[in-house]
Amino acid sequence: MSSLALEKEVNLKVILEGSSTTENSRIDNSKLLSAFAEAIVGCDIGEIEDTRNALVAVMGIPAMIEAAGVASNFQRMVRIAESTGIPLGGLQEFSSDVRNELNLDKFLKQKTNL
């Protein structure tokens, strides 16, 4: 959404493929940011240190701290959504193109089939 509003096209594959993607995301420092987010979710202290240092070297400490804040925020948001079973509501229509491109509905189907 924000990318469309800013008339900047981004490659959404980086969201699924992360730091291992060979695609050009068109987002500055996307591989460094993805790698840091992956290490945080993986709770791997060594990986966190390596990716944090790499991010600091290129983007600086304040940007790294902001990335840590966002990543830890979404560690929370996913648990709220998943444990309360909220529907997509208006988000379904609003994000249908993105959801299709990223095949996000497979996660919903997996959950419904449990």
Partner 1 sequence: MQISYRNTHYDIPEKYDEAHSRFWQRLSKPGSWWNAEQRIDIAREVRNANSCTTCELVKKALSPNAVDTPHKSVSALDPLVVEVVHRITRDQNRLSKTWYESVLARGLSDAQYVEIVGTVAAMVSIDSFCLALALPANALPKPVSGEPTQYRPTTACESEAWVPLIPADENINAESDLWPKGKTGYVIQAMSLVPDEVRTLSDLSATHYLPMHAVGSPTAQGEFLDRQQIELVASRVSALNQCYY
CB of 51 to partner 1, least distance (A): 9
Comparison of 54 and 71: residue with beta carbon closer to partner 1: 71
CB of 97 to partner 1, least distance (A): 14
| Amino acid in the structure at residue 87 | P
Comparison of 22 and 28: residue with beta carbon closer to partner 1: 28
- Alpha-carbon distance of 81 to 75, in angstroms, equals 11
CA 15 to chain centre: 5
- Alpha-carbon distance of 21 to 71, in angstroms, equals 19
CB of 4 to partner 1, least distance (A): 7
